[in-house]
Amino acid sequence: MSEIGYKLYKNLEDDVLLKEAYSKMEKLRFLSSLNNEEMYWEEANEFNELIIEIKRRNIAINKEMWIKKIIIDI
C-alpha cells in the first residue's frame, strides 16, 4: 500500500539528516536487544524513510566515518 503525505525528513539539512540516520541506527540496535518487535519495526520504517530521503538527495556518505561509528560504537 502506498501512502501519500508529509515527508517527515524533507526539510532537514543534509548533515542533520545523516545524524538522524545514525541516531536511528543506534536506536534500532538497542531495540533489537530488547526483543520488542513492534517498536523495532516502527523505528525500522522510519529509518527506511530516512534512507529514501538520503538517496533522493543523492547525498554522499563518508563510508570510512560510518564504518568507524558502527564498529567502534557497538
**Domain residue spans of the chain:** 14-72
Contacts of residue 32, defined as CB under 8 A and 6 or more positions apart, other chains included, come to 40
- Look at residue 5 in the predicted model and tell me its pLDDT: 52
pLDDT digit of tens for each residue in the chain (74 aa)? 445 555 678 888 999 999 898 889 889 888 888 988 899 999 999 999 998 999 999 998 888 877 777 777 65
Measuring CA to CA, how many Å separate 7 from each of 45, 52, 56, 57?
13, 10, 12, 13
Kindly report the pTM of this predicted structure: 0.74
- Look at residue 60 in the predicted model and tell me its pLDDT: 85
